[in-house]
């Protein structure tokens, strides 16, 4: 009788723990960035894919929800000014994760009638006041680093965990190697992460090394890219997604690692 009571008690405890696990909301990993993270409507238009489409294959999605909010053509500045970040903030909760990758579009024009998406270079507090010719609004434009700091600080204030990712490299070569962003956006992303106490994933360097191994621009283009030197095909996007996970696993203390699957599908 005593044994039966003990077994019953253990079964009840297991049931309670299982119920609690089921009821507890899954944390969400939010991805924000540009077309190299999510291209167009994320359906492979023109053969182009962002790495965010393939990232779920590396995580246990029964325990982690993934939302890819990246959108083509956006910079660290316009993702904010268009209200996209504010919409995420309304849902962001303690224990969630925010993975951000910007830079490709931040070097564009600060004020014009077509895109007006550029940010000031660097990570300082410099500003430029403009009457935006595209939006017809008065705007204070900040540095790339300022926008990243805002994303990081906002996420931390919500109890979420920010991860700053350096931008994936383009198929541009010099002296037999892919050009890095180690003296510009990659460097600035790293500096912001360090100053703000965020995790930094050096995707730029990891992917550049992978690209270097292809030997030359022509071979790299036909293997991982589509019609331009920035947007990847499915194979290239998968390579980039795997590099994100490799960079993540180098951050031994990052809680997001607990959701990474150990055996990946072929």
Q: Looking at the DSSP assignment, which residues form a beta bridge with residue 98?
A: 30, 162
Rg of the chain's alpha carbons, rounded to an integer?
21
- 3-class DSSP assignment, residue 131: strand
d(CA 26, CA 9) in angstroms, rounded, equals 28
Tokens found for residue 8: 């019953």
30, 100 Cβ separation under 8 angstroms = no
d(CA 8, CA 257) in angstroms, rounded, equals 35
34 flagged as catalytic: no
d(CA 139, CA 182) in angstroms, rounded, equals 29
**Among residues 104, 106, 228, 229, which one is catalytic?**
228
CA 183 to each of CA 1, 43, 70, 87, 122: distance values in angstroms, whole numbers, following the listed order: 73, 34, 24, 32, 10
d(CA 194, CA 138) in angstroms, rounded, equals 32
Percent of the chain that is helix, strand, coil (3-state, to 5): 40, 15, 45
**Among residues 53, 69, 142, 231, which one is catalytic?**
231
Tokens found for residue 109: 């024009």
35 flagged as catalytic: yes
Distance of CA 245 to the CA centre of its chain: 11
75 flagged as catalytic: no
136, 202 Cβ separation under 8 angstroms = no
**Among residues 34, 35, 96, 154, which one is catalytic?**
35
Distance of CA 130 to the CA centre of its chain: 29
Active site residues: 35, 228, 231
């Amino acid at each position: 009788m005593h044994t039966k009571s003990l077994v019953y008690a253990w079964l009840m405890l297991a049931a309670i723990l299982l119920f609690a696990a089921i009821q507890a909301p899954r944390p969400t990993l939010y991805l924000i960035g540009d077309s190299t993270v999510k291209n167009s409507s994320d359906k492979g238009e023109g053969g182009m894919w962002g790495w965010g489409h393939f990232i779920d294959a590396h995580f246990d999605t029964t325990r982690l929800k993934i939302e890819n909010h990246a959108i083509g053509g956006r910079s660290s500045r316009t993702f904010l000014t268009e209200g996209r970040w504010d919409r995420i903030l309304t849902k962001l909760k303690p224990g969630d994760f925010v993975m951000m990758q910007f830079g490709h579009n931040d070097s564009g024009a600060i004020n014009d009638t077509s895109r007006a998406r550029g940010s000031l270079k660097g990570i300082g507090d410099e500003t430029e006041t403009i009457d935006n010719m595209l939006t017809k609004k008065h705007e204070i434009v900040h540095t790339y680093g300022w926008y990243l700091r805002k994303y990081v600080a906002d996420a931390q204030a919500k109890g979420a965990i920010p991860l700053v990712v350096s931008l994936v490299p383009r198929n541009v070569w010099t002296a037999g190697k892919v050009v890095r962003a180690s003296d510009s956006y990659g460097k600035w992303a790293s500096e912001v992460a360090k100053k703000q106490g965020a995790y930094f994933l050096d995707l730029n360097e990891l992917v550049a090394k992978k690209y270097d191994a292809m030997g030359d621009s022509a071979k790299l283009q036909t293997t991982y890219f589509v019609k331009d030197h920035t947007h990847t095909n499915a194979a290239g996007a998968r390579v980039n997604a795997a590099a994100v996970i490799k960079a993540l696993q180098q951050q031994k203390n990052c809680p997001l690692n607990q959701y990474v699957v150990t055996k990946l599908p072929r």
